[in-house]
Structure 1
């Protein structure tokens, strides 16, 4: 860190008496400088430190930076970090890094750099923004650690695995020429050939290895000499182990590993030759196993929370299922409710802090024998080992639920988080597998979410029947989409100012077994499967065809709104596909409105969604924000996206005629929308009282049963004739 400490301007001693207060300040300053010097001494040999201004120009580096990059300090200062770009990472990698740190968040990752001499080196990098006195970013501080050896070890490990796979394929032809331990036994199982490599593999049992001795004799002497790790003649099962090894030796074929003395590992591959001899090849794979063990230690834990990860949890669950003794354990799967919105509102750093705190609470509220794991994202799991009974498991689950009741502090803010818990009892059976246990817990979790979240559900077979029904419905929906059975209904929208027709919202309709499936269920089924985009295409096609039919009969449909899901907007080709479809049907883009919910614009991929929305808006398609006021969208989102219409949710409209608070909210939203150049649609208008109140607030359009119920395309002529006759769409006594 040379230069980092020296760059501090030290105050010079004053010639006159500074007074006691000044002396104290200088003493404090000296203490701080001494502490910084201590940090420098501790960090400088190991930590690569660099400081840049806010544009990324290097302003300071320490000696370790110069050593690893092989550039001098003079060459580095004033340059960009692109000086070290190895070309290993795509531009998007650095774009994402700059997006994170320029937003004020900390970035952490692994980067491959190129030194001045052309050599590559890897660094574990953390970059944090540096703030000035006003709280604005004035630069960035990065700390790095050289992980080149680890990366080389990982590459070596992968290369070794590939090499050994190739060797295994060639063993049948070249087994006698391998430079490893080789031993051959005749038809009487007597040792007839071995090399020095074979004795080197079994160092403690070397005296027992001699031509003419039977394999069983050599094996027993090796056990007696302590050749095999974790096994000795003092163990109760040593004879069983020998018998098992004899069976595998006399029926050779599958390779296996042996843990031997000296913390070594031997890979044993035995084959029976065409002449009846058993030939064994012993390969020392100690280095490989040690590397695997190190990787395993790193791979068992979730790097964010320190909890175990999915793979380790499955291993522990497998071990429980394979035990002979009957053990009553339980698996709990947990999803945090509303985590996505919290993450999007407060940032990924806050989201990570929340996950860490939740993991800690879970760990603090289970027994030491229980296993807490993070499966990924906001998904956790708890394996309750030897819980005794379902009642005990439920008691622990309730305790875990209560652990989430207290708010979690994220900086200056406190947020509340809840969770949905799915519990299944783990019972040993011949058909029990970790996959089935997870599936049952997942079914219970699904039921808990269906029950309203922030609760738990215990698996039973009725739940599974419900899931099977849902899967059957999904397949039926898949067939309906493929066979063109999806219909659309058009719900009219009217202008408040003259009660005249303004347009329609296209709504999905599906008739199964002569019964209409609720639209909400159709959308839910599509979102829970891979059908949402296909369903969206079907609805769009039906809508465009309906508009063609109206125009063919001489009617003017007005502007027609179509609901669009996040999955559709994430598709980079969606805008082109929609515009091409509109044009192919002879319509103008300005006749189309796409409706998106608050959840869509709060999606993690909101940047890609924003690109699609802007392309559509530029082509003339209008954007409507549906169900406004029910989610977490803010004024920022209204400014960020090209929204032309705000649709006030029916939950506000329902009470607007007699609830002063709802009336004030609707009025404020309407005024805000108008000030931003947007228009307002009120959903769920059903009574004259609601209409009059909404008219007073200045709402632009009404949609609801007071105007008209959703109308199937073939039944829409009467409604449109009234519109053509310039009659008000709806009449009532005010």
Structure 2
């Protein structure tokens, strides 16, 4: 400021500098008591008061009532101590409108350093403030439906809006998910999907009570805070009526679509410490409703919360378990039914949990739904099994191939092929040693083209691709044509009832026939009885896997389990030969007796 004054004095062109300031900022000067003695034209333009109506009055004439008294006490304390004060003030103009100014107040000092007045420099930042408010509002509103989004509803709940006077402590947070909404987008396009969402939102708004709030969390998921005009016992009846409203046919172009909804809810006094926890509770109930098949209403229960905590703890244990080497790779031999030899083994993950003991994937399925964890587990299994295969080949224990299950998480990057080739190179092995098993669920993701592209690269490098759990999906035959497959694995659910004949036996026979016609080999998994094995052998099934022949075992027990499988197959073959020989002998004896009687 002193440099500016020196510059002005040196230039002697005061009018120029005053005009420059008038163009940029509002300027007001007051005496020690805060009485205005001067305002420049810019200041008057900001507030709408001419200078004559301001001079002789204090700044209180502009007070909008927005700031509390403490705000101004702090300001006066600062400037009366001789310090500069800076801040943002919301003032009221002569016509009643409010506006925002970025303000700096400087004390005026005489030669002895005594304060004799104050200079206020102001910049109008109303547009900036309003633009920020608009951005803040838009960040909390769904652009398609104009209702609160997740952030907006979270802040609404955190503000305790449902507990306002006249509100009910029995308010419920409801999450509503439209069943099969994806099919509308797929069949009619996203514009039709948007139209459907708008219609559903309009219907929901019509049945909500005063004080209830509608929100959209994204996609086809809505959230509602309801119950201001309802008793707790009436909430479920209200939600049932809500689903009925949604199920009224909706016109999409020249056709009609009938939607249904899955609903999960929790009461706002259900013990959640914050809005996100509350939303998490309602989401647990929603997932339970969807697991029940959709078109269902579920309330969060202590059992659901306990199960969620158990899953959360298990995921935490798994993260720590990876670092503590608690995970192991087990191997289950797969036998060639014609040669009675083990030709491959499937690598299977096991977890030696410090409290639960040795557990398989069926116990920690929630861990395998966690993208980060399943990716890390996949890398661990691939590294361990390839190292084990290298050691077995060098020692002569096992010269076959290893099969491994892949997940969608393994394809989220394009480095899977490179990773496998690097691990094989370290052990002096080639891609033909590895069988990669995929399932149909991997191709239901919107980015299944990434999976297909990586599978093509893997097949090009010489990896064998197998289709696991074949027969349990809806589009498996299409995949036989489109994917680079060389073998099929028949799901164990079809093997279990082979002995009873019926459609399962026909299905298995049909799968084997189709696979052979397409040049593929077939693996039957889940074989537990000799009769199942013999039926599959009669159907010309190529490979067999199951507890009848060999169990999944750790790497150190592989040699003994291989031998057990070979001995079991040979014993079954010898028993069959003995039975066939006995049958033949019985037939020969019967013919001789018949001839003897005839001759007599």
TM-score range for the pair, normalised by the shorter chain length? 0.7 to 0.9
Pair 1:559 & 2:401 matched: yes
Pair 1:455 & 2:296 matched: yes
Equivalent residue in structure 2 for 1:660, among 493, 502, 505: 502
What is the CA-CA distance between 1:336 and the residue it aligns to?
4.9
Which structure is higher in RCO with an 8 Å CA cutoff and minimum separation 6?
2
What is the CA-CA distance between 1:207 and the residue it aligns to?
8.0
Equivalent residue in structure 2 for 1:609, among 431, 443, 451: 451
The answer to whether the Cα contact below 8 Å between 1:601 and 1:637 also exists between their aligned partners in 2 is no
Pair 1:267 & 2:111 matched: no
Counterpart CA distance in 2 for 1:518 and 1:681 is: 22
What is the CA-CA distance between 1:645 and the residue it aligns to?
1.9
Match runs of 1:412-491 below 5 Å: 419-427=261-269, 433-448=274-289, 454-460=295-301, 463-491=304-332
Change (3 A) 1:574 1:196: same
**Paired residue secondary structure (2:348):** strand
The answer to whether the Cα contact below 8 Å between 1:484 and 1:538 also exists between their aligned partners in 2 is no
Change (3 A) 1:468 1:280: farther
Which shows bigger deviation, 619-628 or 632-641? Answer: 632-641
- In the other structure, the counterpart of 1:525 is 367
The answer to whether the Cα contact below 8 Å between 2:549 and 2:565 also exists between their aligned partners in 1 is no
**Paired residue secondary structure (1:212):** coil
Pair 1:251 & 2:74 matched: yes
Task: Specify every segment of 5 or more residues in structure 1 that has no aligned partner in the other structure, as ranges.
Answer: 1-174, 221-227, 229-240
The answer to whether the Cα contact below 8 Å between 1:684 and 1:705 also exists between their aligned partners in 2 is yes
The answer to whether the Cα contact below 8 Å between 1:183 and 1:194 also exists between their aligned partners in 2 is yes
What is the CA-CA distance between 1:473 and the residue it aligns to?
1.8
Counterpart CA distance in 2 for 1:439 and 1:251 is: 43
- In the other structure, the counterpart of 2:472 is 630
Pair 1:190 & 2:35 matched: yes
- In the other structure, the counterpart of 1:93 is none
**Paired residue secondary structure (2:124):** strand
- In the other structure, the counterpart of 2:26 is 181
What is the CA-CA distance between 1:356 and the residue it aligns to?
4.7
What is the CA-CA distance between 1:590 and the residue it aligns to?
0.7
What is the CA-CA distance between 1:525 and the residue it aligns to?
0.9
- In the other structure, the counterpart of 2:593 is none
Please state which structure has a larger fraction of its residues in helix: 2
* 1:559-579 Cα shifts (integer Å, max 9, x gaps): 211011112112111110111
- In the other structure, the counterpart of 2:59 is 215
Change (3 A) 1:334 1:256: farther
Change (3 A) 1:664 1:316: same
**RMSD, aligned α-carbons:** 4.1
Counterpart CA distance in 2 for 1:528 and 1:453 is: 23
* 1:497-547 Cα shifts (integer Å, max 9, x gaps): 454323111110011115123313434314225211111011112212332
Pair 1:281 & 2:122 matched: yes
- In the other structure, the counterpart of 1:199 is 44
Equivalent residue in structure 2 for 1:574, among 395, 416, 419: 416
Task: Specify every segment of 5 or more residues in structure 2 that has no aligned partner in the other structure, as ranges.
Answer: 1-19, 76-85, 109-114, 577-600
Change (3 A) 1:731 1:350: farther
Match runs of 1:219-238 below 5 Å: 219=62
The answer to whether the Cα contact below 8 Å between 2:371 and 2:409 also exists between their aligned partners in 1 is no
- In the other structure, the counterpart of 2:490 is 648
The answer to whether the Cα contact below 8 Å between 1:602 and 1:633 also exists between their aligned partners in 2 is no
The answer to whether the Cα contact below 8 Å between 1:270 and 1:278 also exists between their aligned partners in 2 is no
Counterpart CA distance in 2 for 1:400 and 1:659 is: 48
* 1:48-105 Cα shifts (integer Å, max 9, x gaps): xxxxxxxxxxxxxxxxxxxxxxxxxxxxxxxxxxxxxxxxxxxxxxxxxxxxxxxxxx
Change (3 A) 1:729 1:177: farther
Counterpart CA distance in 2 for 1:618 and 1:263 is: 75
* 1:21-44 Cα shifts (integer Å, max 9, x gaps): xxxxxxxxxxxxxxxxxxxxxxxx
Counterpart CA distance in 1 for 2:329 and 2:480 is: 29
Pair 1:347 & 2:186 matched: yes
The answer to whether the Cα contact below 8 Å between 2:215 and 2:223 also exists between their aligned partners in 1 is yes
The answer to whether the Cα contact below 8 Å between 1:496 and 1:700 also exists between their aligned partners in 2 is yes
Change (3 A) 1:465 1:542: same
CA radius of gyration, larger in: 2
- In the other structure, the counterpart of 2:150 is 310
Change (3 A) 1:667 1:278: farther
Change (3 A) 1:324 1:401: closer
What is the CA-CA distance between 1:323 and the residue it aligns to?
6.4
Match runs of 1:38-57 below 5 Å: none
Counterpart CA distance in 2 for 1:415 and 1:488 is: 49
**Paired residue secondary structure (2:532):** helix
**Paired residue secondary structure (2:326):** coil
Counterpart CA distance in 2 for 1:702 and 1:413 is: 50
- In the other structure, the counterpart of 2:203 is 364
What is the CA-CA distance between 1:293 and the residue it aligns to?
4.7
Pair 1:587 & 2:429 matched: yes
- In the other structure, the counterpart of 1:513 is 354
What is the CA-CA distance between 1:706 and the residue it aligns to?
2.2
The answer to whether the Cα contact below 8 Å between 2:24 and 2:123 also exists between their aligned partners in 1 is no
